[in-house]
Amino acid sequence: MPTPEYKTSICSWPSDDRPRERLLKYGEHKLTNTELLAILLRTGIKGESAVDLARKLLDKFKTFRAMSHTDSRDWDKFKGLGPAKISQIKAALEIGRRFREDEARVENVQIKSAQDLVTILMPRLRDLKKEVFKVAFLDGQNRVLAIEDLDEGTVNYASPVIREIYHRALQHFATAMICLHNHPSGKPVPSVEDRQFTRKLIDAGLTLGVKILDHIIIGDNAFYSFAEKGEM
């Protein structure tokens, strides 16, 4: 259902057109992106409802994904958007990303291919401005025990400590691991350092009895799997 065009405040709209009332009556899945965002904003400004403001935000950013990786300068042109409302929006977007990771832990997902893990973590990693190194710890049936951040680097470098990675694996009683990190450039092409690190990680696993199943590099809607390329 299209969001109605009203110039008055939302509280004066017919109840079936108000986003919050529609959510409670029909369910959140029935609302448009504009209506969902308007609920987060709660109020608009003089002459513009929260729906009007939400529509302007989506006209600028196009998608929630694009909205999630912004700085304060991107929001300056919008009247009525102070730190509180911007924080509410960013918090909601982060909850959405974390939900995908929680699904893996709660449902004890079995990882059968690189794509299984990429599907869970791509939404979070593909847009980050810094490299982040994550590890999925697995049991003997390749079911996810935990997914953790192990290191955060600069725009183009992360230096995870191998000893810490295996320390966490032993704490989780993991028998296998899959390592992942993102390339902020969007191009998941392994560097010389990526290959050297992967080799060291595999060698350490042989000693400790924890198998490294894969090292995955996340780009922008693309990934590189060392295992699928026969490099493990």
Closest by CA to 17, choosing from 59, 51, 48, 60, is 51
167, 159 Cβ separation under 8 angstroms = no
201, 212 Cβ separation under 8 angstroms = yes
Query: Given this model, what pLDDT does residue 50 score?
Result: 84
Same domain membership, residue 131 and residue 79? no
Q: For the chain, count helices (H), then strands (E).
A: 8, 5
Same domain membership, residue 216 and residue 119? yes
- Predicted confidence (pLDDT) per residue in 56-83, tens digit: 888 888 888 778 777 777 787 787 788 8
- pTM value is 0.61
Which DSSP string do the residues of 3-65 spell out, in sequence order? Answer: PP--SS-GGGS-GGGSHHHHHHHH-GGGS-HHHHHHHHH---BTTB-HHHHHHHHHHHH-SHH
Percentage with pLDDT > 90 across the chain:
21
Tokens of 13: 């709209």
Question: What's the domain range around 135?
Answer: 110-225
Number of domains in the chain: 2
The domain boundary, picked from 70, 98, 126, lies at 98
Same domain membership, residue 218 and residue 119? yes
Q: What is the 3-state secondary structure (H, E, C) of 198-219?
A: HHHHHHHHHHHCCEEEEEEEEC
- Predicted confidence (pLDDT) per residue in 121-147, tens digit: 888 788 788 888 999 999 999 999 888
The domain boundary, picked from 98, 132, 161, lies at 98
Instruction: Per-residue pLDDT tens, the chain, 232 aa: give them.
Output: 555 554 556 665 655 667 888 888 878 777 888 888 888 888 777 777 888 888 888 888 888 877 877 777 778 778 778 888 888 888 888 887 777 666 655 557 889 999 999 988 888 788 788 888 999 999 999 999 888 888 777 555 566 688 888 888 988 999 999 999 999 888 999 999 899 989 988 888 888 888 999 999 999 889 999 999 998 8
183, 218 Cβ separation under 8 angstroms = yes
Query: Given this model, what pLDDT does residue 157 score?
Result: 58
Query: Given this model, what pLDDT does residue 217 score?
Result: 94
Same domain membership, residue 31 and residue 55? yes
Q: What are phi and psi of 231, to 5 degrees?
A: -105, 15
Say how many C-beta atoms besides its own lie within 10 A of residue 18's C-beta.
22
The CATH number linked to 206 is 3.40.140.10
Query: Given this model, what pLDDT does residue 4 score?
Result: 57
